[in-house]
């Protein structure tokens, strides 16, 4: 079935265009917020050729497509039309607080992942080039590459503001302007120099804090803006909306964000980062084994998005992440090992071919086709992947392995573990190798029914 037909069938079985309030996609899944979840014919969607699975998760409806998800999403967007997002209705489904938080975080981060993972991969390439003395860290070429790779992280509040505005269905332009206030050079420079601790506005103190690379302050800010905008727009006469609405919204929101919301969000990010760093310092091997072994389950439930703010905050404050990216790396390579073991062991030609292709994708960090198409379907190889991930995660925990840039956790992420003058890369290779080999061997020895 071609991509256009898949998109038509999916939308039809979801309940049609009018039942979709928002749609986006991640690396392997179409994601939808729905008006009425009861209208979905989930079993009919699961049997569509080209669909690997479908599920409700954290208030979203997700259709697992695999590596062709981007192409299918283009067809979905073509069917829904450009006016779809602006005119989308609010769904009446009750998600609960936890599901709402996960849905919000995934809806904000998924659209901007190409920018930060692409830049992260470039940083990995730069680390390789300098490690092999192919380029000097003081050369003009390196400086240019560093500008390109740093931009998405340094100006992360702008990316998040744009994406959050779409998620909260509010003005994208005003949201980006709000981010501009947080990133204004005066605040950045005062925060860096320490010359001025705070500015005052009508007796209110505005702390001089650098919000570069931060996540939580701008998410909270755009969330506040979405409510302020609705209230202001409701009471401003139609004749003056184009002038007065943005003026009043920017004044109210910017002051509240600079005085209260952004500092609070910054402190939350700092303490969340300290909590997870402290957890690995106190119980590194145990925490690593637990997270490495359960990461596929965490990803399946969408809970891994809860770690995104902490990981990015850690990157901004201490320069590395010891939790989300490293644990995902060993988990993904364990999934690859178990899947490729199925490719070796299986006697069914179709399963052998599927396991080989999805196993290779898993090596590069795209594991959902391998999970939903092979290991979960056969069950015991999935257990093997969990065991391999636990061994690799425990190894990472013992040696406190660090990831120094945000990129897709696959084999191409290995250069992001290079740290001059340390054995961080060697320990990373050890953990990755163990997770792959253990999962491969265990899957070979476990009997499974095809």
Residues serving a catalytic function are: 26
- Pair of tokens at residue 115: 């920018």
Nearest by Cα to 113 from 28, 212, 228: 28
Burial class (CB in 10 A: 0-12, 13-18, 19+), 420: exposed
Element housing 29 (H / E) = strand 29-34
Q: Which two tokens stand for residue 134?
A: 């192919």
Antiparallel, parallel or unpaired: β 60-64 and 29-34: antiparallel
The upper half-sphere exposure of residue 417, i.e. CA atoms within 13 Å in the direction of its Cβ, equals 28
The SS3 call for residue 58 is: coil
Task: Count CB-CB contacts under 10 A for residue 335.
Answer: 36
Q: How many angstroms separate the CA atoms of 208 and 258, rounded?
A: 9
d(CA 310, CA 328): 14
- Cα separations in angstroms, 281 against 121, 269, 284, 294, 400: 27, 18, 6, 20, 8
């Amino acid at each position: 079935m071609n991509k256009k037909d898949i998109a038509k069938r999916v939308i039809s079985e979801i309940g049609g265009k009018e039942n979709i309030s928002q749609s986006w996609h991640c690396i392997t899944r179409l994601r939808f917020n729905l008006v009425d979840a009861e209208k979905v014919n989930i079993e009919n969607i699961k049997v569509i050729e080209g669909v690997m699975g479908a599920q409700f998760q954290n208030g979203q409806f997700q259709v697992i497509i695999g590596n062709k998800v981007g192409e299918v999403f283009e067809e979905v967007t073509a069917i829904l039309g450009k006016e779809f997002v602006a005119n989308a209705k609010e769904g009446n489904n009750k998600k609960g607080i936890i599901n709402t938080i996960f849905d919000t975080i995934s809806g904000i981060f998924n659209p901007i992942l190409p920018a930060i993972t692409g830049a992260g991969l470039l940083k990995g390439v730069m680390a390789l080039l300098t490690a092999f003395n192919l380029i000097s860290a003081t050369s003009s070429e390196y400086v240019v590459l560093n500008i390109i790779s740093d931009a998405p992280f340094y100006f992360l509040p702008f990316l998040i503001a744009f994406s959050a505005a779409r998620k909260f269905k509010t003005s994208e332009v005003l949201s980006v302007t709000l981010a501009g206030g947080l990133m204004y050079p005066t605040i950045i420079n005062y925060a860096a120099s320490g010359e001025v601790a705070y500015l005052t506005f009508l007796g209110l103190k505005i702390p001089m804090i650098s919000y570069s690379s931060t996540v939580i302050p701008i998410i909270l800010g755009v969330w506040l803006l979405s409510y302020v905008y609705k209230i202001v727009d409701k009471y401003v006469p139609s004749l003056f909306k184009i002038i007065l609405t943005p003026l009043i919204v920017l004044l109210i929101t910017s002051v509240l964000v600079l005085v209260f919301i952004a500092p609070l969000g910054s402190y939350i990010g700092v303490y969340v980062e300290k909590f997870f760093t402290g957890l690995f310092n106190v119980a590194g091997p145990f925490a690593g084994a637990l997270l490495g072994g359960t990461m596929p389950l965490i990803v399946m439930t969408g809970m891994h998005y809860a770690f995104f703010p902490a990981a990015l905050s850690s990157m901004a404050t201490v320069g590395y992440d010891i939790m989300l990216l490293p644990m995902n790396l060993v988990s993904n390579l364990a999934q690859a090992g178990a899947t490729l073991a199925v490719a070796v062991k299986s006697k069914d030609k179709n399963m052998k071919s599927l396991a080989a292709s999805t196993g290779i994708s898993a090596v590069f960090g795209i594991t959902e086709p391998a999970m939903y198409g092979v290991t979960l379907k056969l069950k015991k190889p999935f257990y093997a992947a969990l065991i391999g991930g636990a061994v690799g995660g425990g190894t990472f925990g013992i040696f406190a392995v660090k990831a120094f840039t945000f990129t897709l956790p696959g084999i191409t992420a290995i250069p992001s573990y290079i740290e001059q003058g340390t054995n961080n890369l060697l320990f990373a290779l050890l953990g990755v190798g163990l997770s792959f080999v253990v999962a491969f061997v265990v899957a070979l020895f476990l009997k499974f029914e095809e």
